[in-house]
Amino acid sequence: MFKKLNILDEKDPHLRKISKDANLPLSNEYKNTIERIIQELTYSQIEEYEKKYNLRPGMGLAFPQLGINERIIVIVHEYEEGKFKNYVVVNPKITSYSDEMIAAEAGEGCLSVNRDVEGHVKRHARVTVEGFDVDGNKIKFRAREELSIAFQHEIDHLNGILFYDRIDKNKPFYTENEIRLI
């Protein structure tokens, strides 16, 4: 039986707190929460389930969005039509990043922001993320393009930052000559 997660709205103060490191290995309760997040994010990217369960499409969720201010992120990346790779990172850190900057041409969205926000968010084109899996084993990912954007977006949540905080108020949009839009 599928039951939608209770994702907090942008006005909730939990989303503005800096999260603390999660204790490892994760509890069974947290592991179950992660499984529910993976299921909902996957369903939200499959049109049939998105409509059936009235979901907003999303590829990432951070624990603070559920009111849990601990450093855990989940990303479900559709790397090919109907094929998904799950990334669960506990206490993630970006350990290196490219000089090249990119932005999602359509702008970014967020499951906690239930409105359209106009503007481009400058992000690193490539990042290396290190952290731990749910059992406390060290893990490391190199992410590019939209996956890089997703990691930066979700890690921002752990630091109380919402994507629209990063939109330049004086210059919300960039041209292809200024930044690579993907």
Residues recognised as catalytic: 154
For residues 100 and 111, the answer to whether their CB atoms sit within 8 Å is no
Count of beta carbons in the 10 Å neighbourhood of residue 131: 24
**Token pair for 74:** 């989940």
Contacts of 132 (CB under 8 A, 6+ apart): 24, 89, 90, 91, 138, 139
Phi-psi category of residue 76: left, alpha or beta, with phi > 0 → left and psi -120 to 50 → alpha: beta
3-state secondary structure 150-179: HHHHHHHHHCCCCHHHHCCCCCCCCCCCCC
For residues 10 and 160, the answer to whether their CB atoms sit within 8 Å is no
